[in-house]
Amino acid sequence: ELLELRSIEKFAATGRIARTMAHEVRNPLTNIGLASEQLRGEIDGNNEEIALLMGMIDRNVSRINQLITDLLNSTKFVQLQYTKVNVNNLVDDTLMLAKDRIDLKNIKLEKSYDPNLCDIKVDPEKMKIALLNIIVNAVEAMESSSGVLNIKTEKDGDKCLIRITDNGSGMDEETVSKLFEPYFTRKPNGTGLGLTSTQNIILNHNGKIAVMSAPGTGTSFTITLEA
């Protein structure tokens, strides 16, 4: 019992640390980003070396920002602000956020939306993050130009289903079993917090997330939410 209490305390502490970090780190980080933007206007556009360094600053600023977002969303206590949204619109809004990456890799997008999908009550900002993490992984797992990203929505009784399928590398059983663990990654620059956040957000919505994958064939994530 004592042990259990300790782990609850640890969870609460993790949440507190993450929130403090988010606040204390994001403000100075924003200043770095703004300063870099201003410097960019000052420097000679022909200086390649400096442009390269500025690019490095910007990439690292957004990387730290992303890390903070992931960290916040992967601690158990996510604060949700519920609003009624249409599932198909929610998916489209998320796709907008991923558009650059999808276009950059020349990924083919297939949408099969159920027109009868009604509104569901979710925290749209959190849910977009949850879906985006899956979509980003899918894009990263696929080859340029031959990649196909399929997104399906379906109304199933009083439930709404969102299925995201890729024809990328797929995963072996061991990888699938570790998928949602914090810090589990097979990428050189991965954080391993993306799917931890996704699962956490879905579970906080009382939803379900399931995965099917086969090496060399692709991966499919299915999210089920109460309508």
Q: Which residues bind Mg ion (CB under 5 A)?
A: 137, 194
Residue number with the smallest Cβ distance to Mg ion = 194
Residue 98 interacts with, from ligand ADP, Mg ion, none (CB under 5-8 Å by kind): none
- Residue 82 is given by DSSP the state -
Residue 55 interacts with, from Mg ion, ligand ADP, none (CB under 5-8 Å by kind): none
* Separation in Å, CA 117 to CA 67, 76, 97, 127, 157: 33, 29, 22, 16, 11
- In the complex, least distance from residue 139 CB atom to ligand ADP, rounded to whole angstroms: 9
Residue 215 interacts with, from ligand ADP, Mg ion, none (CB under 5-8 Å by kind): none
Residue 113 interacts with, from ligand ADP, Mg ion, none (CB under 5-8 Å by kind): none
Residue 186 interacts with, from Mg ion, ligand ADP, none (CB under 5-8 Å by kind): ligand ADP
Output the CA angle 201-150-208, nearest 5 degrees. Answer: 25
Three-state secondary structure of 113-176: CCCCCCEEEECHHHHHHHHHHHHHHHHHHCCCCCCEEEEEEEEECCEEEEEEEECCCCCCHHHH
Separation CA 55–CA 200 (nearest Å)? 33
Cβ-based nearer residue to Mg ion, 74 or 137 = 137
- In the complex, least distance from residue 177 CB atom to ligand ADP, rounded to whole angstroms: 11
Separation CA 187–CA 195 (nearest Å)? 13
**For the chain, what is the largest distance between any 2 Cα atoms, rounded to a whole number of angstroms?**
65
Separation CA 71–CA 203 (nearest Å)? 16
Cβ-based nearer residue to ligand ADP, 137 or 200 = 137
Q: Which residues bind ligand ADP (CB under 6 A)?
A: 133, 137-138, 141, 166, 168-169, 171, 175, 179, 184-187, 190-192, 194-196, 219
- Residue at token pair 């609850």: 8
Cβ-based nearer residue to Mg ion, 122 or 195 = 195
Cβ-based nearer residue to Mg ion, 167 or 196 = 196
- In the complex, least distance from residue 22 CB atom to ligand ADP, rounded to whole angstroms: 18
- In the complex, least distance from residue 193 CB atom to Mg ion, rounded to whole angstroms: 8
Residue 171 interacts with, from ligand ADP, Mg ion, none (CB under 5-8 Å by kind): ligand ADP
- In the complex, least distance from residue 130 CB atom to Mg ion, rounded to whole angstroms: 12
Q: For 161, phi and psi rounded to 5 degrees?
A: -120, 135
